[in-house]
Structure 1
Amino acid sequence: MAIEKVRAHLKKWGRSEDILEFEASSATVDLAAQALGVEPARIAKTISFRFQAGALLVVAAGDAKIDSAKFKREFGFKAKMLTPDEVPAYIGHAIGGVCPFGLNEDTPVFLDVSLQRFKTVFPACGSSNSAIELTCDELNEYSLNKKWVDVCKGWEEE
């Protein structure tokens, strides 16, 4: 089970017992925000894209959307999301529980700057009813982030 892979991953930092599990689904940004009682923007959603022979992940704030032009400038190719059928094979987690922890090997993670406006954020933990509260520094460390990127739109103050 993917949540057990995440538990094993977070154990390295002594955080495996901090995973929150809910009775209700937290599979979408809105459902996770409801389950946690926080604004949707604080949900750290993980988006999976096709990359070479595998995938890459971008973790962004719940109110952010991928900006195709920024994505192409950053990564050098057009953003193409994995299909729901491809996600478990490439990432190791099913849709609704995709997170930047306990991944299949060689899956690079990139954190979007949209997250940095919050003291803490809530990524999923491998299941459709789990999350953990982390600072951006913790998320950066635990996700093995390759680098902070600016590939989203729609979240900035106008």
Structure 2
Amino acid sequence: MSVESVKKYLKPFGLDDKVREFQVSSATVELAAAAAGVIPARIAKTLSFKTNDSVILIVTSGDAKVDNKKYKAIFGTKAKMLTPEEVIAYTGHAVGGVCPFDIPDKNVKVYLDISMKRFETVLPAAGSSSSCVVMTPEELERASQAREWIDICSIT
């Protein structure tokens, strides 16, 4: 996928003009925060996991870490991250640019962690390792077509 395909995906939500592209890498929380000029916690990182019967994406704030006990309580299994190759196969995005938008596999389920609700805007990637989109948590919920908000992380 690409930034252009994510922009096209975001257009019906009125969010395509909120995509920002950088001349530097935004592939990690720290790099994305520096590129965007925000605190790392406002970066909405998208983590990819394999459950017993599906693939899920969990979008959480940059300063949050998935709590294994909470994960198992919600999904009934241990957290197992996808390999970089599986990430591309299921999401269409490479590690460093994974976002919950324009996912080709319609069976991938998106969940949002409540850690992002403390911010007016958050910044998920926009399909590349040098982009983001600035949006409210509510816009993220709509555009990602998330199943629900969950409490699965602890703040580090």
TM-score, length basis structure 1: 0.94
Give the alignment of 1:1-150 within 5 angstroms: 1-52=1-52, 54-104=54-104, 105-150=106-151
Q: CA RMSD in A?
A: 1.2
Q: Tell me, what secondary structure is at the counterpart of 1:137?
A: helix
Q: Deviations over 1:74-106 (max 9, x none)?
A: 111111000112110011100000001001222
How big is the shift at 1:53? 5.2
Q: Which amino acid aligns with 1:66?
A: V
Q: Distance in 1 between matches of 2:122 and 2:145?
A: 16
Query: Percentage identity across aligned positions?
Result: 52
Do the aligned residues in 2 keep the contact of 1:60 with 1:111 (CA within 8 Å)? Answer: yes
Q: Which amino acid aligns with 1:85?
A: E
TM superposition outliers: structure 1 runs of 4+ over 4 Å = none
Alignment size in residue pairs: 155
Do the aligned residues in 2 keep the contact of 1:110 with 1:148 (CA within 8 Å)? Answer: yes
How big is the shift at 1:54? 4.3
Do the aligned residues in 1 keep the contact of 2:51 with 2:75 (CA within 8 Å)? Answer: no
TM-score, length basis structure 2: 0.95
Q: Deviations over 1:91-131 (max 9, x none)?
A: 11000000010012221100001101111100000100000
| Structure 2 alignment gaps of length 5 or more | none
How big is the shift at 1:17? 2.5
Do the aligned residues in 2 keep the contact of 1:93 with 1:126 (CA within 8 Å)? Answer: yes
Q: Distance in 1 between matches of 2:14 and 2:137?
A: 17
Do the aligned residues in 2 keep the contact of 1:54 with 1:90 (CA within 8 Å)? Answer: no
Q: Tell me, what secondary structure is at the counterpart of 1:134?
A: coil
Q: Distance in 2 between matches of 1:126 and 1:52?
A: 27
How big is the shift at 1:2? 2.7
Q: Tell me, what secondary structure is at the counterpart of 2:122?
A: strand
How big is the shift at 1:55? 1.5
Tell me which moved more, 133-142 or 3-12.
3-12
Q: Deviations over 1:57-77 (max 9, x none)?
A: 000000000100000111111
Q: Tell me, what secondary structure is at the counterpart of 2:57?
A: strand
